[in-house]
Amino acid sequence: MTIRKTTKGMGMPWEDAYGYAQAVQVGDTVYISGQLSHDANGNIVGAPSLDEKGRIVDHGNMEIQMRQTYENAKALLAKFDATLDNVVEEVLYVTDMDAAFAVAGTVRKQAYGSDKPQVASTILVTPRLALPTQLIEIKFIARV
């Protein structure tokens, strides 16, 4: 059985390099690939300093990166005539749990426009994400 998929991208260089769609719609469900804190040119917003081995020195820009990541998700959802109100699940991948937890409540509530966002949420820590200066990545599932 063949399913009908509608895909959207953001024109980032890693879409072709890695070979994937930023978002895939099947029926009334939109699966959003992990979003990060890049600007329109693919530069990481709030990039942290790295040590001589390329490891993150300071996670103090977690809030900056988290806010930009939600903004990028909003832009991608808009391509499906959707907003964060359509999100039913999110998974946050972070490089430092303490830094993420210190800002996540405030940032998420502002992004969703609610003191108790109606979205299932999971947060996981990982030693490294795809790009060396990446502190956070968030994947979403939305219903439209």
Predicted pLDDT of residue 26: 98
Give the SS3 label for residue 124: strand
Inter-residue contact 30 to 77 (CB < 8 Å): yes
Among the listed residues 37, 9, 38, the one whose alpha carbon sits nearest the alpha carbon of residue 22: 9
Among the listed residues 124, 142, 19, 134, the one whose alpha carbon sits nearest the alpha carbon of residue 73: 142
What is the rounded CA–CA span in Å between residue 130 and residue 134? 7
> Count of alpha carbons within 13 Å of 42, Cβ hemisphere only?
9
Entry pTM: 0.96
What is the set of domains in the chain, with CATH numbers? Answer: 6-143 (3.30.1330.40)
Token pair, residue 24, equals 């895939």
Q: At 85, which amino acid appears?
A: D
pLDDT in tens, the chain (144 residues): 899 999 999 999 998 889 999 999 999 999 999 999 999 999 999 999 999 999 999 999 999 999 999 999 999 999 999 999 999 999 999 999 999 999 999 999 999 999 999 999 999 999 999 999 999 999 999 999
